[in-house]
């Protein structure tokens, strides 16, 4: 990783696993200018996971598409963007731990995970999601 200010090399001073966001948090220091900054590293799920929407169709997993569907369900809330972002990370965590095969998730699996997370979070959001995402 290079420094965002002077483009020199950096060193990792601290590193922690982040279970909720499925990533690694790192504190970095520039070896030239001394700038301290934080990075969050996550796997690119679009190249790692495929979604089966029908028996013959496979598509790359889209975190953005999942976020938008959860955002639409939470739109009635004042903190809809923050809530949808946190819910997206929870759903992704469930999907990665309960995938039937590595790298393969069905559309129904995604819908069930979203419904389950929304049910515990907000009843109105869960109802809205269920209306627009039938199994």
Tens of pLDDT, residue by residue over 47-90, are 778 888 777 888 999 999 999 999 999 999 999 999 999 999 88
Q: Cα separation of 39 and 12, whole Å? A: 10
Judge if pTM exceeds 0.85: no
Tens of pLDDT, residue by residue over 85-104, are 999 988 988 887 766 566 78
Q: Cα separation of 129 and 133, whole Å? A: 6
Count the neighbouring beta carbons within 10 Å of the beta carbon of residue 74: 24
Alpha helices in the chain (DSSP H): 45-48, 63-73, 80-98, 107-121, 123-132
Q: Which of 48, 71, 68 is nearest to 60 (CA)?
A: 48
Q: Cα separation of 40 and 49, whole Å? A: 20
Residue 18: what are its φ and ψ, rounded to 5°? -115, 100
Extents of the domains making up the chain: 10-42, 45-132
Q: Which of 59, 87, 60 is nearest to 72 (CA)?
A: 87
The top-scoring range by mean pLDDT among 13-22, 52-61, 120-129 is 120-129
Lowest mean pLDDT among 37-41, 97-101, 121-125: 97-101
């Amino acid at each position: 990783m290079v420094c965002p200010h002077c483009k020199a090399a950096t060193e990792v001073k601290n590193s922690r696993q982040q279970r909720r966001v499925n990533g690694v948090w790192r504190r970095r220091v520039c070896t030239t200018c001394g700038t301290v900054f934080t990075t969050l590293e996550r796997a690119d799920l679009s190249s790692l996971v495929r979604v089966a929407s029908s028996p013959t169709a496979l598509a790359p997993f889209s975190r953005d598409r999942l976020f938008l569907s959860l955002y639409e369900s939470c739109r009635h809330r004042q903190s809809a963007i923050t809530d949808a972002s946190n819910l997206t990370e929870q759903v992704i965590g469930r999907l990665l731990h309960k995938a039937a095969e590595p790298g393969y998730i069905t559309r129904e699996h995604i819908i069930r995970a979203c419904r389950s997370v929304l049910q515990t979070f907000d009843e109105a959001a869960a109802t809205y999601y269920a209306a627009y995402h039938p199994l």
